[in-house]
């Protein structure tokens, strides 16, 4: 019945600060939509940003997000990039199990305390070949 995730929503305290953080640290693209709302794009996915109380249909709270994002980079490269950006790594690399099997993960928080997990599957066949990664 369900084929994939289209988007998710993070509740943040300051949308522009969040856009700047995700653009800088995770190299996401940003956009405007629907009466000035903001979104972050990566691959064919997006994260919509909202302020507390903006959406009356949910019980969102600032900093309650917990995201796992898959990288095409090695985790060593991700860690080096995050260090340059001044991001403190909370844990990792550690072995975890994702939707498609065994992976290695690192964890850090965004400015609002949302937990971000960056992972790479142990089986390189499940990752985009670094030859196709323009950042490799």
CA-only gyration radius of the chain, Å: 15
- Rounded average pLDDT over 59-76: 92
Residue 52 tokens read as: 């507390």
Per-residue pLDDT at 84 exceeds 80: yes
| pTM for the predicted model, two decimal places | 0.86
Quick one: pLDDT band at residue 107, thresholds 50, 70, 90?
very high
Neighbours of 54 (CB within 10 A): 13
pLDDT tens column, 34-45: 988 999 999 999
Q: What is the pLDDT of residue 3?
A: 83
Q: What is the DSSP string of 74-134?
A: -HHHHHHHHHHTTPPP-EEEEEEEETTEEEEEEEEE-TT--EEEEEEESSGGGS--GGG-T
Residues forming the active site: 117
């Amino acid at each position: 019945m369900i084929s994939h995730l289209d988007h998710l929503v993070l509740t943040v305290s300051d949308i522009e600060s969040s856009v700047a953080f995700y653009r800088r640290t995770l190299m996401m693209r940003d956009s405007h939509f629907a009466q000035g709302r903001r979104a972050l794009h990566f691959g064919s996915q997006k994260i919509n940003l909202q302020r507390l109380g903006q959406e009356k249909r949910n019980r969102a709270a600032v900093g309650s997000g917990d995201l796992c994002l898959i990288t095409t980079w090695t985790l060593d490269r991700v860690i080096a990039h995050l260090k340059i950006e001044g991001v403190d790594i909370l844990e990792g690399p550690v072995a975890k199990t994702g939707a498609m099997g065994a992976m290695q993960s690192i964890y850090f928080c965004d400015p609002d305390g949302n937990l971000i997990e960056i992972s790479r599957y142990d089986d390189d066949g499940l990752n985009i070949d670094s030859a196709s990664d323009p950042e490799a």
